[in-house]
Amino acid sequence: MEQEALYRLSRSLQKWILEAAAYTRTQIKQPLTVSTKSGPNDLVTNVDCANQAFLAEKIKTAYPNAQLVGEEGAGEVPDDWQQGLTFFIDPIDGTMNFVKQRANFAIMIGVYEDGQPLFGIIYDVMADQLFWGGPQLGIFENEAALKNAVDEPLQEGLICVNTRMLVTNEAHLQEVLYQCSGVRIYGSAGITFAHLLKGQVQAYISKLAPWDIAAGRVLAETLGFQVLQFDGQPISMMRKEGMIIAPKQAIQEIVTIMNGSND
Amino acid sequence: MEQEALYRLSRSLQKWILEAAAYTRTQIKQPLTVSTKSGPNDLVTNVDCANQAFLAEKIKTAYPNAQLVGEEGAGEVPDDWQQGLTFFIDPIDGTMNFVKQRANFAIMIGVYEDGQPLFGIIYDVMADQLFWGGPQLGIFENEAALKNAVDEPLQEGLICVNTRMLVTNEAHLQEVLYQCSGVRIYGSAGITFAHLLKGQVQAYISKLAPWDIAAGRVLAETLGFQVLQFDGQPISMMRKEGMIIAPKQAIQEIVTIMNGSND
């Protein structure tokens, strides 16, 4: 995409996300309409749906030829998503936190052009922290440029994990835990990416849907993090899949442990 | 304690903690001197020690007959701690977060008179959130009074846990997990208490030293939380011990599960 068009896309997405966030804040003290999806802890609220509709409408008007993938509705990733412009929308990431904490949730949009990362934006609504940028723009927290990931051994870092994977020791995850400085669980991919991008945690190991990873992948890869499946292969962005996000040294150590080379 | 003396104690502790926090913030971008204590993930820094010395000196000068128990130095709880005034000091709670995240740590002081909760104060230094009060004063976040704990079933709430207990399924902790809305791990007792007091998590299950629990216990009990050992007995405040902090309904459910009535 031409630089001028990319600046316009960046400005537009920031504006629309801030508008969705302003609406979300007006709802934060109201009763929510909460429904379950795949299970009792997989929630969707009226605000998720309203944000999805608002953001989808803005994007479709400005980019009528683009493809949209969203957590709430239009959830299938089209086979030809790697052609042209594709927007992945997560209108409320961390819906359980939104419902129970009324904080620690994010609105996220990731944009890909011909399958390549173009632009990502994650907004921690209640903390008013906006993470945005891409390979051509650099990565920013509000107006401050963020530093590249620190490439340290696994033992130097904190890791964020999926609770169920940790409890069941899926893919040797408990062995990863014993090699690092500790585990944190924040309950939202977007909030976890905020900690990664600020250098507060080193790695994130979880199962993420395309809308959970799309924005964070653009931001993290631009800062030098890698995003790989548990077996070390590239992720597909086509389905919910296990993945590791970490800088080079740590991700190599994690892939080795998760593939049980000690078996 | 007389009301006027209690107000003076409250004002003094707030002032001293804010002074220690101002010093801590000056050190946040400096290299730290980090040492290990019981193991590689049990850290102490020069700032922990400086804050401990500063707070202990202020308290000793103002309350020369009081007993002091602190995480860094003077760590033994005296057998006669239930006589007169006792101050429990945690100069940096969440030292791993302090070192790795430079955020998400707290300074905490709990004050007991003849063994009874008198005053508690927890300061989330980087978020500038001060939680303080006691049974005679009420409980506040900065200047706003906090609401009582919501007494809901376990399934309605998020719980915070000790990672190692969760991984090893100590005291059936994984069964507690499967009965609640989800797990969060923040890496600091003080930060966890901040979430409890704001109503963002329902329960906290961990092994806590006297200086980890002293302030939070005063604040949480005043808001209607209970603090019990895993077997449902009162805690001792004499040693590091397993404990549950939750409102009445949830703590009854948790005690039942942790004592394996289903075995």
pLDDT value of position B75: 63
Strand partners, B145: B140
pLDDT value of position A249: 98
Residue B251, H or E segment: helix B248-258
With beta carbons less than 8 A apart as the criterion, state whether A35 and A72 touch: no
How many other CB atoms are found less than 10 A from the CB of residue A77? 20
Alpha helix (H) residue ranges in chain A: 3-27, 46-62, 95-100, 163-168, 173-179, 189-197, 210-222, 248-258
How many other CB atoms are found less than 10 A from the CB of residue A254? 28
Q: Which domains does chain A have, with CATH numbers?
A: 3-145 (3.30.540.10), 154-258 (3.40.190.80)
pLDDT value of position B242: 98
Burial (CB < 10 A; 0-12, 13-18, 19+), residue A164, is middle
Residue B141's Cβ-side half-sphere holds a number of Cα atoms within 13 Å equal to 17
pLDDT value of position B261: 56
Residues of chain B found within 8 Å of residue A195, distances taken between Cβ atoms:
101
For chain A, say whether B165 makes contact (Cβ under 8 Å): no
CA angle B115, B121, B123 (to 5 degrees): 150
Separation CA A143–CA A139 (nearest Å): 9
- Could you say which of B41, B187, B195 has the minimum Cβ distance to residue A184? B187
- Contact yes or no for B182 and A157 at CB 8 A: no
Residues of chain A found within 8 Å of residue B165, distances taken between Cβ atoms:
none
Measured between CA atoms, the residue of chain A closest to residue B41 is A181
Q: How far, in Å, are A126, A203, B24 from residue B124 at the CA level?
A: 17, 24, 11
With beta carbons less than 8 A apart as the criterion, state whether B201 and B189 touch: no
- Contact yes or no for B100 and A166 at CB 8 A: no
ipTM above 0.90 for this complex: yes
Q: Which two tokens stand for residue A173?
A: 């995850």
- Contact yes or no for B157 and A185 at CB 8 A: no
Q: How far, in Å, are A73, A219, B51 from residue A157 at the CA level?
A: 37, 19, 25
pLDDT value of position A29: 84
Separation CA A70–CA A125 (nearest Å): 19
Tokens 């906006």 -> residue: A130
With beta carbons less than 8 A apart as the criterion, state whether A126 and A198 touch: no
Q: Which two tokens stand for residue A30?
A: 């109201």
Strand partners, A92: none
Low-confidence ranges of chain B (pLDDT < 50): 263
Q: What is the pLDDT along chain A (263 residues), one digit of tens a residue?
A: 999 999 999 999 999 999 999 999 999 988 899 998 888 888 889 999 999 999 999 999 999 999 999 876 656 788 899 999 999 999 999 999 999 999 999 999 999 999 999 999 999 999 999 999 999 999 999 999 999 999 999 999 999 999 999 999 999 999 999 999 999 999 999 999 999 999 999 999 999 999 999 999 999 999 999 999 999 999 999 999 999 999 999 999 999 999 985 54
pLDDT value of position A37: 85
Residues of chain A found within 8 Å of residue B169, distances taken between Cβ atoms:
167
Tokens 């629990």 -> residue: B213
Q: Output the DSSP codes for B34-91.
A: EEESSSTT-EEEHHHHHHHHHHHHHHHHH-TT-EEEESSS--SPPTTTTSSEEEEEEE
Strand partners, B159: B183, B203
- Could you say which of B167, B182, B184 has the minimum Cβ distance to residue A41? B182
B103-131 burial by CB neighbour count: b if 16+ within 10 A, else e? bbbbbbbbbbbeeebbbbbbbbbbeebbb
Residues of chain B found within 8 Å of residue A102, distances taken between Cβ atoms:
200
Residue A84 is classified by DSSP as S
